[in-house]
Each structure stands twice: as C-alpha cells, then as structure tokens.
Amino acid sequence: MTSVNDLLQLLHLDSNSENQFQGLSKTVGSPNVFGGQVLAQAINAAYRTITNQRVLHSMHAYFLEAGNLELPITYDVGSMRDGGSFSVRRVTASQNGTVIFILSASFHKKEEGYDHQIEIPKNIKQPEELLSWSDMLEQFGEAIPPRTKGFLQIERPVEFKPVEVVDPFNKKDLPPSTNVWFKLKGDSSNLDLSQKQQILTYISDYNILAAAMNRHASKAHWGNTQTASLDHSMWYFRDFDFDDWLLYAIESPNASNARGFAKGNIFTRDGKLVASVAQEGLMRPLKK
C-alpha cells in the first residue's frame, strides 16, 4: 500500500448480509495480521449498521488469536442498543470459524455541551526538522539491524516522523514515552468523518508499545521480546483533517507480568485534541 486510496480499499469490507461483512489483509512487516487493520475494519463493519447519523465516540477491543494473513476475515455485527442518544454495536471477527477478535463500539448523536482539553506537548520538534522512516532507511540502511530494516522497507500509506529516535547500538534505558508525527500519503481531502476515524484507528496501533519498550531499552528490543496487542481502546473527540501532520504523544505508566501498558493522545498540529488511545500489550522476554 502506498496511498490513502490503497488503505481505504483495504478497510472497506464486502457485504455478505445486512450484519455480516468480509475483508482481506495486507502485511505491515509482521507474520500476522496487523491489529490496527482488524480494529479499523471492525469499525467499518459497525458503521455500516448505523442508519441514524450517529458518530463513533468510543470503542474497546480484545485480540484473542493471531490473524492469518492468507485467510479472509468475517465480521459479524450485533446491534446491542439503539437508545435515544446512543447506539452500541458488538463486532466479532473470525477466520475459519475461530473468533480472533471482539470489539464494542458506541455511537452518539450530535449534542452541545461543555468543552475542554489538555494542551499539545510543548517544545516538540516540528516534522520539517525530523527524519521519516523512509529517510532513515535511505540514510542509515546499512547500519540498521536486519529485522528493523525489513520492517522499514514495507511500503505504507502513512509517513511517520519520530521525535525521539532510539539508537539500537547505545544500550540504555530511556524515558517511557515517545512522540511521533504522522501524515497520510495521497489526497485525503474528500474523506468523511467515518473514514477518518477508521484510518486514525488503523494508525493508532503503530508505535504505541514503543513507549513501554523504551523504559527497558538497555536489555529489551524487538528482536528479543515477544510483543502483541492484547486489548485496545480509543475515544474520539473532535472532527479533523488529514491535510497536515498529526502528533501521537504516547507514554507508558506501567509494565509488569510480561505486559506493557501505554496511553496516547492524538493532536492536530495547531493543538486540537482529536482522540485518546489506551493499549496493553504482551512484552514477553524471549529465553535464549
């Protein structure tokens, strides 16, 4: 995938029935289906059953089994509630009859109310000052560890520019946080809100566990640690556009029992808080 159009094609599901949909997968460099893809496709399925113009405001999901890249994924949507203000959907994703993922999503009618938000982190380098993943691959390709290099070589519809770059050859623990700018490739001017939320959800599964790994960087890295998304929650606050860079500011309050927890806030460049994310992931040290 090289553009937003490729991503939209991946996230849009074929309809098997009124409440059942089917999608395919694309690799992001791992042997299993990318969690962000399943999250976004499940939201696409849930939105397809919303007929009252309500907007997604939160979702909570669990990853139960690793997805097979070669098999289609079937999404079954259950209508749990259509109340006066909120609609709730439950989505079950399966492959060959095995449930691999479940998601609950809540949709809300447009209402007026109080408004406040936290501020975007201060003194953050702007994207024009930073190298993208593609830039790093081009400039430092020969020095990048093979596993990381292979990951960076995958073509993506999103460009990432990390504010803090971890030096794999300088083994020291780092603060449990990371900040990453991101921007879609291609024309994103005609996206509706549901498409923007699906794409943002897809992107939200990138980078988030890195904040938990950073705290243990003197001994832990992606090559000696088994990682996987266990659950993922997201709250959607405000409409936005993808025509400029957005900042994903992530911190990890805890790691214990072979699990790491991280939470993040997504801001537009001018400081509007778009969404918040929370995830717990497997961080299991591999035995030699």
Which active-site residues does the annotation give? 205, 229, 279
The residues with which 233 forms a beta bridge, in sequence order, are 60, 278
Gyration radius of the chain over CA positions = 19
Q: Reduce the DSSP state of residue 146 to 3 states and report it.
A: helix
Give the CA-trace dihedral at 52, 53, 58, 63, to 10 degrees: 70
The alpha carbon dihedral of 271, 273, 278, 279 has a sign of negative
Burial of 23 (0-12, 13-18, 19+ CB in 10 A): buried
Alpha-carbon separation of residue 283 from 55, 56, 211, 228, 244 (angstroms): 34, 30, 12, 7, 33
